[in-house]
């Protein structure tokens, strides 16, 4: 009898506790509270209107764009000093921009600077150079999209670059580049030929060229102003220079360069 009473009590207690445990088991695990999104204005507390004395990543981008357009002749530093201010003022004067104030990159200047409306600075002919004789290269390059060329010509690939107006050629090596190709000359002789294309000295001009690689020819546009950090190669070239193909964009900024595009059409013998 005692055994039956004990079993009955145990069953009663079990029936009493099981629903309680089931209730707790059915409760969902609380969803963790997501970490708040950082305030980028606190992470990068640079003012939206850049002026003399500012510094930071935004200034680097402004300087790089001014350099691409020919208003700056030195490498981006991230420091908005006198030369950057003068370059901004020259850009504003060339576009009749007055809303932000002279030398200040406010919303109006920033919008124009990073748009297709941005005009390149008119560069006077450089003195002291020797213009190479015209000797047109007889072969056209193909209008091959950048995505294709980017895959065909990997980093460290060597190829030949030929100026379409003079047939001067040099050997180049790809060292990087995202929206377009960053290249250096392969040796000292190649660097001297690179300079000859630009009248014997570095220049902010751009030239139509044909790239020869693995029995293929690609229409391209070459920049005459090396920039960036030294790569340790280049035959005397300080830094690297840019090579644009069909559909290329500026690194990081993702901007179409109208002059490079026009040169690419010339190199493909499809000048409009």
Please state the domain extents for the chain: 40-113, 146-267
Confidence band, pLDDT 50/70/90 cuts, at residue 132: confident
Q: Read off the pLDDT of each residue in 90-111 and give the average, rounded to a whole number.
A: 92
168 close to 193: Cβ distance less than 8 angstroms? yes
Structure tokens at 172: 């180049």
β pairing state of 181-185 and 206-213:
unpaired
Q: Which of 98, 179, 167, 99 is nearest to 133 (CA)?
A: 167
Structure tokens at 202: 């570095």
CA 8 to chain centre: 80
Confidence band, pLDDT 50/70/90 cuts, at residue 10: low
Q: Read off the pLDDT of each residue in 16-36 and give the average, rounded to a whole number.
A: 48
* Predicted local distance difference test score (pLDDT) of residue 42: 40
CATH class, range 40-113:
mainly alpha
* Predicted local distance difference test score (pLDDT) of residue 251: 61
Structure tokens at 24: 């707790």
What is the 3-class SS of the chain, one letter each residue? CHHHHHHHHHHHHHHHHHHHHHHHHHCCCCCCCCCCCCCHHHHCCCCCCECCCCECHHHHHHHHHHHHCCCCCCCCCCECCHHHHHHHHHHHHHHCCCCCCCCCECHHHHHHHCCCCCCCCCCCCCCCCCCCCCCCCCCCCECCEHHHHHHHCCCCCEEEEEECCCCCEEEEEEEECCCCEEEEECCHHHHHHHHHHCCCCCCCCEEEEEEEECCEEEEEEEECCCECCCCCCCCCCCCEEEEECECCCCCCCCCCCHHHHHHHHHHCCCCC
* Average pLDDT value for the chain: 81
Structure tokens at 148: 């294709």
- pTM (2 decimals)? 0.62
* Predicted local distance difference test score (pLDDT) of residue 38: 37
Q: How far apart are CA 214 and CA 143, in angstroms?
A: 16
**Helices 57-68 and 82-95 sit at what angle, rounded to 10 degrees?**
50
pLDDT reading at 91 higher than 50? yes
* Predicted local distance difference test score (pLDDT) of residue 227: 77
CATH class, range 146-267:
mainly beta
């Amino acid at each position: 009898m005692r055994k039956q009473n004990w079993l009955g009590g145990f069953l009663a207690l079990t029936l009493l506790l099981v629903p309680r445990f089931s209730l707790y088991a059915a409760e969902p695990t609380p969803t963790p509270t997501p970490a708040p999104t950082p305030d980028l204005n606190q992470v990068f507390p640079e003012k939206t209107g850049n002026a003399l004395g500012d510094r930071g990543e935004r200034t680097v981008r402004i300087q790089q764009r001014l350099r691409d357009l020919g208003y700056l002749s030195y490498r981006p530093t991230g420091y908005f000093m006198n030369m950057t201010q003068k370059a901004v003022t020259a850009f504003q004067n060339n576009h009749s921009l007055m809303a932000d104030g002279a030398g200040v990159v406010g919303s109006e200047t920033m919008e124009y600077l990073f748009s297709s409306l941005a005009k390149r600075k008119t560069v006077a002919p450089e003195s002291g150079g020797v213009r190479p004789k015209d000797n047109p290269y007889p072969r056209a390059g193909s209008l091959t999209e950048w995505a294709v060329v980017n895959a065909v010509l990997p980093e460290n690939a060597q190829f030949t670059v030929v100026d379409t107006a003079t047939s001067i050629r040099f050997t180049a090596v790809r060292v990087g580049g995202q929206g377009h190709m960053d290249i250096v000359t392969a040796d000292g002789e190649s660097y001297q030929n690179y300079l000859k294309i630009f009248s014997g000295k570095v220049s902010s001009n751009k030239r139509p060229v044909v790239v020869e690689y693995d029995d293929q020819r690609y229409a391209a546009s070459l920049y005459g102003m090396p920039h960036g950090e030294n790569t340790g190669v280049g035959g005397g070239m300080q830094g690297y220079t840019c090579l644009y193909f069909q559909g290329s964009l500026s690194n990081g900024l993702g901007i179409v360069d109208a002059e490079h595009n026009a040169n690419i059409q010339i190199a493909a013998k499809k000048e409009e």
